[in-house]
Amino acid sequence: MNGIKFQKNDNLTPVIIQDREKKDVLMLGYMNDKAFRKTLKTGWVYFWSRKRKKIWMKGEESGNKLKVKQVFIDCDGDTLLIQVELFGKAVCHTGSKSCFQNMLLKRF
């Protein structure tokens, strides 16, 4: 569907989530074909949970939902970039806006 090449071993594709306005990278999740279709149909981001082995809507429990603004596919067709509007304050389960809070290295 839509030219996405899902990974052969698990039928998933990585999905980069980026804040539409501030352009912060918020998280990386995974979708299977069904999660991708639900995302397009509803306008809210759904992922495949590799831990729980099921589709879930991001924010279904926390309320921190991701409203789809723009969807891009990369040149290889195997990665998605979804620009979103964040409903709520945090994407990360730690309470941070982004999951990428831990800096390993800074160079000037």
**Binder of its own copies out of 11, 60, 74, 88 (CB under 8 A):** 74
> What binding mask, one character per residue, do residues 87-106 give for its own copies by CB under 8 A, x or -?
-----xxx-x--xxxxxxxx
In whole angstroms, what is the distance from residue 68 CA to residue 1 CA? 18
Instruction: Name residues contacting its own copies, limited to 8-47 (CB under 8 A).
Output: 9, 14, 16, 18, 22-25, 27-28, 40, 43
By CB under 8 A, name the binding residues for its own copies: 2, 9, 14, 16, 18, 22-25, 27-28, 40, 43, 68-76, 79-81, 92-94, 96, 99-107
